[in-house]
Amino acid sequence: MSSDQQISMNKIKISLDAMGGDHGVESVIPGAALALKKKPDIEFLLFGNEISIYRELEKFPDLKKKSIIHHTPHAISATDKPSDALRKGKNSSMRLAIDSVANGQASSVVSGGNTGALMAMAKIVLKVLPGIQRPAIASVIPSEKGRSVMLDLGANISCDSENLAQFAILGSVFARAVMKIERPTVGLLNVGSEQMKGNDVLRAADALLRSVSIPGDYQGFIEGDDITRGTVDVIVTDGFTGNIALKTAEGVGHFFKSIISEEFKRSFFSKIGYLINKCVFTRIKNRMDPREYNGGLFLGLKGICVKSHGGADAYAFSRAILVAANMVEQGFNDTVVREIEGFAEAEASLGISADGVV
Amino acid sequence: MSSDQQISMNKIKISLDAMGGDHGVESVIPGAALALKKKPDIEFLLFGNEISIYRELEKFPDLKKKSIIHHTPHAISATDKPSDALRKGKNSSMRLAIDSVANGQASSVVSGGNTGALMAMAKIVLKVLPGIQRPAIASVIPSEKGRSVMLDLGANISCDSENLAQFAILGSVFARAVMKIERPTVGLLNVGSEQMKGNDVLRAADALLRSVSIPGDYQGFIEGDDITRGTVDVIVTDGFTGNIALKTAEGVGHFFKSIISEEFKRSFFSKIGYLINKCVFTRIKNRMDPREYNGGLFLGLKGICVKSHGGADAYAFSRAILVAANMVEQGFNDTVVREIEGFAEAEASLGISADGVV
């Protein structure tokens, strides 16, 4: 095998929905350029209005060489309902970018567009991986000990114990492959750590995860404050609870920032005080920077699909691209299929049915 | 009626579990002294070890004059199971303090002890108010706009739509009576604000609150980040979601504080920087002071019961006492009974059954 062929085999092809997000091509294209600097073996398929894409691409000659533009006549708007997007969005940049993963042109897709539409399209076009019951939305979140991955964040309003156990596997494989945690710890979000706490679904999921091994160390129930404490590497919950916990955390973050900024703007002296400590505040801001953790990961689909935050700037968008590239490179989906298969076999050998009952 | 009788009628009798919480009498007695300074018309019944109470009471002559000590041989520990506390704790300071409310010696009880035990005992001894299906735990929380009251925070793991509607009434009456908000706004915590979001229970509760009037302005669904944004005055949710949201928020608060303190301790210069801005940080700390908002309120029982945080200091404990005093003074329970009755009548006239189905 020649060195050229070697390079070509290692290429990671990522499709980008260039029209998605609040800033469209203005964050997508510079974001791709930033990602390319970090990981020169990426090639991009750019879906969207070719004039807009081309105009922006002109500014990044290195990226231009690694990109193919696919003109698309339509774009999904932030207010489109998922059902409408599915029906009417067949020629949209989002849909065609997802299609390119389904037909093997690319290995992953990144979009900053309408979450509901993206999830609905990805689920229908890419389909779930063998053995997976329900795909889940995961996100990497900062914690006192570093970072953790949390799922589901809203794909499934209600879940059974088997769904939760599968999320534990998806999260563990992600923590191992992408976050490089050899033996990730896993916790199930509940209202107390004792085994009798919570509802029937949680207790059944707890029993299931205690009896069948997963690619992480299951530690039992954790509570809301364990999320940012970093008690475990993988936080498992249903999409209802996960969505509310994540948004509550975002709200508290916003509250803290607004109080700090208000108090430091209150007087001439406090403004001076802020300037004196500016480098400390910059360090604090960097540690909490949500851009570092940009990317809602749709796990459990045949193809990698990453949702960038709608308001993402170029840097944040580049982080979402790099997560997608990492997942492809580490063979995330192959590992998931293997682990889900092993789990199902172990369940069967223990005489546990799919709903977790022995 | 003589002026003396007038004063005596206005007296608020509060029973304190002097042995509850991490600091026992050392926070309860000074806390009572502080509360008395703010509200001189309170009289206290102090339940616990009389020697410990007496020793501490000696330091506060004004409080001593307004207090009656009830010696109790036992105390409930933080690790006692609610079921054990119910069975074996009949002579405990917590139980006898609650009994004193049930038999009319006092109008309210404040304890910093074991939450599960307090809830179980209060429910069994005090019993629920007429028309109330389930009591709830509420708490006042700080927000960007001031403060809100949120319930349920853990008394009921699962709730039906009627339970949630009753919580909306309990919370609205509290916001009006204690927080002095004439027409409180009310929101139902969900994963999106559109009416089709969430699960069947939430959609039924939403429909119910839209069709029958409550003592607040029902605004529909709110999301996790609306909690600290102060979008509504009363946040209604089930005990599972409420507990996880509250603990998540506490965790994020802890995370922020630890990052700020770490970064300002990092170097000699940042330490100096902190000293320069000390008064700004003190103002920030005061605005977020959890002691101001101390008190888990057990709403819906025949008698006011306030749970102080286990780690509360004297100031925090005094805040919990003042909330209890306020609820008594404002006739909280009488208003609740009236409102619940009115709601049930309105439901009946609309042909809505107790499970919210028309």
pLDDT per residue as tens digits for the range A322-343? 999 999 999 999 999 999 999 9
B139 forms bridges with which residues in the sheet?
B150
Q: What are phi and psi of A129, to 5 degrees?
A: -65, 155
- Torsion of Cα atoms, B304 then B305 then B311 then B312, to 10°: 10
Residue with tokens 């570092």: A292
Q: Which of A144, A198, A264 faces B258 most closely, judged by CB atoms?
A: A144
B191 interaction partners in chain A (CB closer than 8 Å): 154, 157, 239-240, 243-244
In the structure, what pLDDT confidence band is assigned to residue B119 with cuts at 50, 70 and 90? very high
B240 interaction partners in chain A (CB closer than 8 Å): 191, 198-199, 241
Tell me if B248 and A228 make a contact (CB, 8 A cut-off): yes
With 70 as the cut, is the pLDDT of residue A286 above it? Answer: yes
Which pLDDT does position B356 carry in this prediction? 46
A251 interaction partners in chain B (CB closer than 8 Å): 224-229, 249
Residue ranges of alpha helices (H) inside B212-277 are: 226-229, 239-264, 268-276
Window 175-204 of B, Cβ < 8 Å to A: 189, 191, 198-199
With 70 as the cut, is the pLDDT of residue B150 above it? Answer: yes
What chain A residue is nearest to B279 in terms of C-alpha separation?
A270
Q: Which two tokens stand for residue A29?
A: 């294209």
Contact of B276 with chain A, judged by CB distance below 8 Å, is answered with yes
Which pLDDT does position A354 carry in this prediction? 54
Which pLDDT does position A276 carry in this prediction? 76
CA distance B342 to chain A (A): 32
Window 18-37 of A, Cβ < 8 Å to B: none
With 70 as the cut, is the pLDDT of residue B144 above it? Answer: yes
Which pLDDT does position A46 carry in this prediction? 98
What chain B residue is nearest to A245 in terms of C-alpha separation?
B245
- The span from the CA of B41 to the CA of B329, in Å, is 11
Tell me if B277 and A280 make a contact (CB, 8 A cut-off): no
- DSSP assigned state of B92: B
Tell me if B244 and A243 make a contact (CB, 8 A cut-off): no
Indicate left, alpha or beta for B146 from its phi (over 0: left) and psi (-120 to 50: alpha). Answer: left
Are B255 and A143 contacting, i.e. CB atoms less than 8 angstroms apart? yes
Q: In this predicted complex, what is the ipTM?
A: 0.89
Which pLDDT does position A2 carry in this prediction? 38
A11 in helix, strand or coil? coil
C-alpha closest to that of B93 among B143, B23, B46 = B46
A141 forms bridges with which residues in the sheet?
A148
Q: Which of A239, A254, A270 faces B280 most closely, judged by CB atoms?
A: A270
Tell me if B277 and A276 make a contact (CB, 8 A cut-off): yes
Which pLDDT does position A6 carry in this prediction? 38
Q: Are strands A296-299 and A136-143 parallel, antiparallel or unpaired?
A: antiparallel
